[in-house]
Amino acid sequence: MHLVDQHCHSVLVADLDEDRLAALLTESDRPPAAGTTPFDSALGLAVRRWCPPVLGLSAHAPAAEYIARRRELGATEATARLLEAAGLSVCLVDTGLTAAAGHSLLPLTELAAVAGAEVREVIRLESIAERVTATAEGWSRALRAALETACAGAVAVKSVLAYRHGLAVPPEPPTEAEVARAAAGWLRGPRTRLADPVLLARLLWTAVDVCAGAGLPIQLHTGFGDPDLRLHRADPALLTDFIRAAEPSGVPLVLLHCYPYHRQAAWLAASFPNVYADIGLTVSYTGTRAAQVLGEVLELAPFGKVLFSTDAYGLPELYLVGAAQYRHSLGRLLADWRADGACSAADAARIERMVSADNSRRLYRL
């Protein structure tokens, strides 16, 4: 079955040495333990399990052998093979990141060609807000106009609020006076990284308004990420008041990644009609344990509320690992359920279809 990847980034096409490739197998920009590389991890094992066979080696080939083979084929051929093997029919690409390991990422038209997939754009909210030029009093209005323009042609917007201030968003938008005061401070500064809680709240509530009009979902980073994050502030349960307040707008809120708070996300998805839970990044990083983690998501999350993605970024290997580990792990979980008499073959097939593609097709009107 071809998958709808509801959250990913574009890919780089380059002959990488082992250090550069390994650096993209971790969310951390800090060095690994002495004498090891990021290949010494659940994700590293998953890369060595799923990728070498696609390049003509046996599974679990050593990293050095894999990289030598990758160079021998050339980055263009290796990338094409890895992306084709991922079997993605649609990719929703967050364009907030434009480079990785010193290489720029492919423009979306080229990504579509090499992946053999339909590619649609997801707009990064904070990037739009950081580019708004206006007076302090006019900031709110200019932000709204900029968002409306950016959303034309996009399939969703994405927030990295979790990184900037955390997910405890107040249940009502700030007043215009509060926004003007905060905007004055922001506009006086270097304007490199929007982290003011008032402006971030204004941004999210403006996104709710604009997305309600345009019929677009909002994706929110939740759970683990790079060391820039304060993990406890990325717990999606902190969004509860905001979720309740945004419910009447009808705008779907997609909780990305979620781990290790995937059980909180599952409860939110079960409780609120506007909440969906994504399993991307989590399945790749938990590797061989992904079947158990998916099982924990599906303890509470309704099957119509769980969305597949890879969150692949830069390395074509991450697309294949995200897709292959997901297929394998969900297959194991559902085989378990069937062996236990919990569901029929038809039920299992229906659940797989929903999570793999149908839920996203419905949500994003693909």
Residues within the interface to Zn ion (CB under 5 A): 311
CB neighbour class for 345 (10 Å; exposed up to 12, middle 13-18, buried from 19): exposed
Cβ-based nearer residue to Zn ion, 150 or 256: 256
Is residue 99 within a helix (H) or strand (E), and if so which, with residue range? strand 99-100
Say if CB 96 and CB 154 are below 8 A apart: no
Question: Nearest residue by C-beta to Zn ion?
Answer: 311
**Nearest-approach distance from CB 25 to Zn ion, in angstroms:** 15
Cβ-based nearer residue to Zn ion, 61 or 281: 281
Cβ-based nearer residue to Zn ion, 269 or 318: 318
Please, which residues have CB within 8 angstroms of residue 263's CB and are 6 or more apart in sequence?
A: 296, 297, 299, 300
**Nearest-approach distance from CB 9 to Zn ion, in angstroms:** 6
Please, which residues have CB within 8 angstroms of residue 6's CB and are 6 or more apart in sequence?
A: 92, 254, 278, 280, 307, 308, 309, 360, 363, 364
Say if CB 162 and CB 220 are below 8 A apart: yes
- Give Rg (Cα) of the chain: 21
**Nearest-approach distance from CB 53 to Zn ion, in angstroms:** 27
Cβ-based nearer residue to Zn ion, 221 or 305: 221
SS3 of residue 169 by DSSP: coil
**Nearest-approach distance from CB 156 to Zn ion, in angstroms:** 12
Per DSSP, helices labelled H in the chain are 18-23, 42-50, 63-73, 75-86, 108-115, 125-130, 139-151, 161-164, 176-188, 197-214, 240-246, 262-271, 282-286, 290-300, 316-339, 345-353, 359-363
Cβ-based nearer residue to Zn ion, 27 or 148: 27
**Nearest-approach distance from CB 322 to Zn ion, in angstroms:** 11
Cβ-based nearer residue to Zn ion, 71 or 193: 193
**Nearest-approach distance from CB 24 to Zn ion, in angstroms:** 13
**Nearest-approach distance from CB 134 to Zn ion, in angstroms:** 28
Cβ-based nearer residue to Zn ion, 196 or 311: 311
